[in-house]
Amino acid sequence: MRKRSGFLCVAVLLAGCRDMRVEANMAEAMNQLGVELTTIQQDYAILQQQVDSLGMVVARQDSLIRQLANLAGVAIPQR
């Protein structure tokens, strides 16, 4: 009976050590996931800023084309 309880004690201790390692790995994975999510959000913000900037360039070019067409007397269809 004593051997059996000793074996059970060792098994519980080993299982406890394993769980702590799994928890540490899980915490590290969650930390890395948070870092990657932040990086993706920053990349998205940069891309959104670039799209907004390109939209302003297109609007400026559109206005310039309309002004040149107006000066030349060429009709441009409305969108």
Report the alpha-carbon distance of residue 59 to residue 77 in Å, rounded.
16
Phi, psi of 75 (to 5 degrees): -80, 135
Question: What are the tens digits of pLDDT across the range 32-47?
Answer: 999 999 999 999 999 9
Write out pLDDT tens, residues 47-75: 999 999 999 999 999 999 999 999 999 98
- CA proximity to 43, closest of 30, 57, 51: 51
On whether the pTM is more than 0.75, the answer is no
Q: How far apart are CA 64 and CA 76, in angstroms?
A: 12
